[in-house]
Amino acid sequence: MIDFERVSKRFGSWTAVDTVSFTVAEGEFRVLIGPSGSGKSTVLRMINRLIPADEGAIRIDGEDIASLRPEELRRRMGYVIQSVGLFPHWTVERNIATVPALLGWPKARIRDRVTELLELLNLDPRRYRTAYPHQLSGGQQQRVGVARALAAEPRILLMDEPFSALDPITRASLQSELSAIHRRTGTTVVFVTHDMDEALRLGDSIAVMDHGRLIQCATPLEILTRPASPLVRDLVGREEWGLKRLAVETAGDRARPQERVGGEPLPSETPLHRALSEMVSRGAERLPVVDGDGQPAGVLHLSDLVRPAPDRAA
Amino acid sequence: MTFRLPLYNRVALLMAMAAAIAAVVLPFLGFAPNRLLSGRPVPLWAAVQGPGGLAILPGLVLLATPFLRPTRIGLGLTVAAGGLFAAGLVWLAGHHATELAQGASAAARTSFASGFWVMAAAGLLTAVDAARWMGLGAVGRLAVGGAVAGLVALQLATGHLDALSILKEYANRRDVFADAVLRHAMLVAAALVPTLLVGIPLGVAAHRFQAVGRAVFPVLNVVQTVPSIALFGLLMAPLAALGALLPGSGISGVGPLPAVIALTLYSLLPIVRNTAVGLDGVPAPVREAARGMGLTPRQIFLRVDLPLALPVFLSGLRITVVQAVGLAAVAALIGAGGLGAIMFQGLFANALDLVLLGAVPVILLAVAGDALLSIGIAAATSHIGLSPGRNAP
């Protein structure tokens, strides 16, 4: 758990972060979003004390981080940045092993962990273990960057616009891999971005910042349906609002569980904008939905996509 | 139908033409009754008569190299032809000098003349250019250079060249020559120690604090512009005064101490500058990531900054070594000894071969230092894949 209590940071006369308080729960995927200079990166970098707070307290699992050695604190968290920052003179293996080596893990354990992580990030260990960073594409470098951050099994992962420099296809695949890793490991993630689509797609909750202040902290659905200010509404954008709205719910959320219909079924975790697209391309107004085990989970109706959000989500 | 020769290697063509013209027009050797009189020229055609002339057969191959396809084999042949031609010219010079010595007085001198130098240089330059074109690494180039040097060393060792004037000069100074080489190397080494001890911390400071760089670099730049003789001269007076103040300290205005001080002053700029530039070139995200992962400042310096700045630092060291080897020769003027002493003796006695006896080892020392550090740079850069100074990936 990460707890900010009335935290401020000033650089000279400029207030980068202004009395910000929030809590990130254990295992939560929290996205920080806002325009440039809104203070989102500063907040992130205060969590691992790359930037010291001027006022207020930052606690991790109830422990004030100011009482810890910064290096010790940082070794307990993963840290991924937009420009990756792999060590160019070290192999992929040694890069990934950085923190485990600092923590003094036995060699065999480090080796096994590197293999596991390379496989997790879809990099063939035989091919990439001994490669040097300059031999990798930008996407592969960031995969190694994520693997390096996860190496010592941190309970908190800090990511500062990690996918912003990548092409859309690579970005999308890294986003879904990150989602899967998050679901599997239960790591708490704090993720900075300026891209609302990315925030809506990845976040359990989204904190919107502007001029160093926290404007709104809510679920993706609430951000879409109840923006706290014109700025939040602008960040979401009016363009294709309906599709964004659909994207934050899944076929399972809206299916009528008792009904059955024939045809190629949709997995229940399919986002609703994909489901709509399926309906359009198949020319069908009803599609069967199956759960994770392939068992029938009901039927999704076209008319259900346009009805207002169910009460439980509101 | 006309047949046109395809030209692949313009450098080789230029060199082959220079060598061919030198072979015809310029004297290959000079032969004098004694070392004070100017000699009569010996053209190449006079020297190649007889079976000894076969030694410069690689020269004929050299004439063909401009038209060889630049494949590995073609370029390899060019390298071999250039190197063997130079070594062959030395052999021929030794061979012909021995012939000339028969029936001449013991005071007679046979020296290399302009034709020899032009042809040898043309051969070596062709070889160097082709080796680079081949993509030969630092180790490969050192191997080629070592092979040519080895062929000449073999001739020296077997006494084949003893009739040449430069070796007669050597024979006269056999006892001081080894001392001079050693003394020369010691001067350079003695200057490197304080240079590195002061220069590296100064470079680190200039990287960390802009103010240090602004204060240090103008001073070092000015030092570089002072002519070496002037700097030696400037140091003489204060050091002589200091020596007079501290009798028995061994400090004096002449000798090795002012030489080492002056060499250190000259050597500082490349070391300080390249240390600072090398550290400046470490990409900021790499340092940021290192901090974010919990490396201590000391670990960041030793594991990230140092290895990434090393190639640029080594190029600075290379400049320093080559420069110091050359400047140390001038230090002979203030009594520091070394190979410069032999050179100046030759200059004052108007004995060109004595000048050569001092100059050739200076060149060889500089080339050897340069080659060794090139290998170090190649080793330090090989897997970084990051040209020094390049920023974010």
pLDDT per residue as tens digits for the range A193-237: 999 989 999 999 999 999 999 999 999 999 998 999 999 998 888
In the prediction, which pLDDT does A105 show? Answer: 95
Same-domain status, A238 and A268: no
Q: What average pLDDT does the structure give for chain B?
A: 87
Q: Is A69 on the interface with B (CB under 8 A)?
A: no
* Chain B contact set for A93 (CB, 8 A): none
In the prediction, which pLDDT does A239 show? Answer: 81
Minimum mean pLDDT range among A36-40, A69-73, A250-254, B189-193: A250-254
In the prediction, which pLDDT does A48 show? Answer: 93
Residue A103 CA to residue A118 CA, distance in Å, equals 20
Q: Which of the listed residues A214, A242, A270 is the one where a domain comes to its end?
A: A242
In the prediction, which pLDDT does B387 show? Answer: 40
Q: Is B254 on the interface with A (CB under 8 A)?
A: no
In the prediction, which pLDDT does B384 show? Answer: 65
* Chain B contact set for A138 (CB, 8 A): 393
Tens of pLDDT, residues B85-114: 999 999 999 999 998 888 778 788 898 999
In the prediction, which pLDDT does A44 show? Answer: 96
Tens of pLDDT, residues A105-152: 999 999 999 999 999 999 999 999 999 999 999 999 999 999 999 999
Q: How far is A92 from chain B (nearest CA, A)?
A: 12
Vertex A137, ends A134 and A138: CA angle to 5°? 100
Same-domain status, A35 and A88: yes
In the prediction, which pLDDT does B389 show? Answer: 36
Sign of the CA dihedral B289, B295, B301, B307?
A: negative
What's the DSSP call for residue B248? Answer: T
Vertex B270, ends B268 and B275: CA angle to 5°? 95
Q: Per-residue pLDDT for B243 more than 80?
A: no
Tens of pLDDT, residues A186-196: 999 999 999 99
Please choose, from the candidates A60, A48, A74, the residue with its C-alpha nearest in 3D space to the C-alpha of residue A3. A60
How far is the CA of A71 from the CAs of A44, A76, A148, B44, B187, in angstroms? 16, 9, 16, 74, 46
Same-domain status, A35 and A112: yes
In the prediction, which pLDDT does A237 show? Answer: 84
Please choose, from the candidates A217, A194, A196, A197, the residue with its C-alpha nearest in 3D space to the C-alpha of residue A205. A217
Residue B299 CA to residue B297 CA, distance in Å, equals 5
Vertex B327, ends B334 and B164: CA angle to 5°? 90
CATH number at residue A302: 3.90.1280.20
Q: Is B308 on the interface with A (CB under 8 A)?
A: yes
Q: Judge whether A123 and A95 are in contact, CB under 8 Å.
A: no
Q: Do B392 and A83 touch (CB under 8 A)?
A: yes
Q: Do A138 and B304 touch (CB under 8 A)?
A: no
Q: Do B384 and A89 touch (CB under 8 A)?
A: yes
pLDDT band at B171 (very low <50, low <70, confident <90, very high): confident
Element (H, E) at A201: helix A196-202
Tens of pLDDT, residues B311-338: 999 999 999 999 999 999 988 888 788 8
Place of tokens 């290998």: B375
- The 3-state DSSP class for residue B217 equals helix
Torsion of CA A190, A191, A196, A201, to 10 degrees: -80
Q: Is A102 on the interface with B (CB under 8 A)?
A: yes
pLDDT band at B2 (very low <50, low <70, confident <90, very high): low
Q: Per-residue pLDDT for B296 more than 90?
A: yes
Task: Select from B287, B293, B386 the Cβ nearest to the Cβ of A88.
Answer: B386
Tokens of B91: 């052999």
Same-domain status, A254 and A236: no
Q: Do A85 and B283 touch (CB under 8 A)?
A: yes
Report which of residues A157 and B386 the model is more confident about: A157
Q: Which amino acid is at A169?
A: I
Residue B350 CA to residue B333 CA, distance in Å, equals 17
Give ipTM to 2 decimals.
0.85
Beta strand segments in chain A, E: 2-11, 14-24, 29-33, 55-60, 63-64, 77-81, 156-160, 188-193, 205-210, 213-218, 266-267, 286-290, 296-301
Residue of B nearest to A83 (CA): B285
Residue A123 CA to residue A136 CA, distance in Å, equals 11
* Chain B contact set for A97 (CB, 8 A): none
CATH number at residue A203: 3.40.50.300
Q: Judge whether B165 and B35 are in contact, CB under 8 Å.
A: yes
Same-domain status, A222 and A257: no
pLDDT band at B381 (very low <50, low <70, confident <90, very high): confident
Q: Which of the listed residues A213, A242, A271 is the one where a domain comes to its end?
A: A242
* Chain A contact set for B377 (CB, 8 A): none
Q: Is B326 on the interface with A (CB under 8 A)?
A: no
In the prediction, which pLDDT does A86 show? Answer: 94
Q: Which residues of A281-292 are buried (b: 16+ CB within 10 A; e: fewer)?
A: eeeeebbbbbee
Q: Per-residue pLDDT for B385 more than 90?
A: no
How far is the CA of B94 from the CAs of A173, A309, B33, B97, in angstroms? 73, 101, 17, 5
Minimum mean pLDDT range among A8-22, A45-59, A202-216, B242-256: B242-256
Same-domain status, A187 and A260: no
Q: Which of the listed residues A219, A242, A265 is the one where a domain comes to its end?
A: A242
* Chain A contact set for B286 (CB, 8 A): 85-88
Residue B122 CA to residue B15 CA, distance in Å, equals 5
The tally of domains found in chain A comes to 2
Same-domain status, A188 and A204: yes
Q: How far is B323 from chain A (nearest CA, A)?
A: 30
In the prediction, which pLDDT does B383 show? Answer: 64
Residue of B nearest to A95 (CA): B290
Name the percent of chain B lying above pLDDT 70.
95
Q: Tell me the pairing of strands A29-33 and A188-193.
A: parallel
Tens of pLDDT, residues B118-140: 999 999 999 999 998 888 877 88
Q: Per-residue pLDDT for B390 more than 60?
A: no
* Chain A contact set for B384 (CB, 8 A): 88-89, 132, 134
A-contacting residues of B 368-387, CB under 8 Å? 383-386
Q: Is B294 on the interface with A (CB under 8 A)?
A: yes
* Chain B contact set for A148 (CB, 8 A): 293
Element (H, E) at B42: strand B40-43
In the prediction, which pLDDT does B1 show? Answer: 54
Residue B253 CA to residue B262 CA, distance in Å, equals 12
Residue of B nearest to A85 (CA): B286
Q: Is B158 on the interface with A (CB under 8 A)?
A: no
Please choose, from the candidates B361, B309, B369, the residue with its C-alpha nearest in 3D space to the C-alpha of residue B340. B361
Q: Per-residue pLDDT for B16 more than 70?
A: yes
Sheet bearing A63-64, strands edge to edge: A14-24, A2-11, A55-60, A63-64
* Mean pLDDT along residues A160-177: 92
* Chain B contact set for A133 (CB, 8 A): 385, 393
Sign of the CA dihedral A299, A303, A305, A309?
A: negative
Q: What are the helix and strand counts (H, E) for chain B?
A: 16, 3
Place of tokens 């000259």: B266
pLDDT band at A261 (very low <50, low <70, confident <90, very high): confident
Residue A120 CA to residue A147 CA, distance in Å, equals 8
Q: How far is A45 from chain B (nearest CA, A)?
A: 9
Same-domain status, A301 and A209: no
Q: Which amino acid is at A226?
A: R
Beta-bridge partners for A228: none
Q: Is B295 on the interface with A (CB under 8 A)?
A: yes
pLDDT band at A310 (very low <50, low <70, confident <90, very high): low
Q: Is A140 on the interface with B (CB under 8 A)?
A: no
Parent domain of A306: 249-312
Same-domain status, A119 and A235: yes
Same-domain status, A205 and A300: no
Counting one residue from chain A and one from chain B, the pairs whose CB atoms sit within 8 A come to 82
In the prediction, which pLDDT does B173 show? Answer: 85
Same-domain status, A73 and A25: yes
Q: Do B292 and A79 touch (CB under 8 A)?
A: yes
Q: Do B283 and A84 touch (CB under 8 A)?
A: no
Tens of pLDDT, residues A74-93: 999 999 999 999 999 999 99
Q: Which of A50, A86, A87 to mutate to test the interface with B (most CBs of B within 10 A)?
A: A87
Please choose, from the candidates A93, A139, A147, A130, the residue with its C-alpha nearest in 3D space to the C-alpha of residue B393. A139
Model confidence, pTM? 0.80
Place of tokens 């198949």: A282
Beta-bridge partners for A4: A22, A58
Place of tokens 């609703």: A272
Same-domain status, A235 and A201: yes
Tokens of B93: 């010079």
A100-109, A259-268, A285-294: which is most confident = A100-109
Tokens of B136: 């030969």
Q: Is B292 on the interface with A (CB under 8 A)?
A: yes
Q: Is B297 on the interface with A (CB under 8 A)?
A: no
Residue B369 CA to residue B321 CA, distance in Å, equals 7
Q: Is A81 on the interface with B (CB under 8 A)?
A: yes
Rg of the Cα trace of chain B?
A: 25
Report which of residues B71 and A24 the model is more confident about: A24
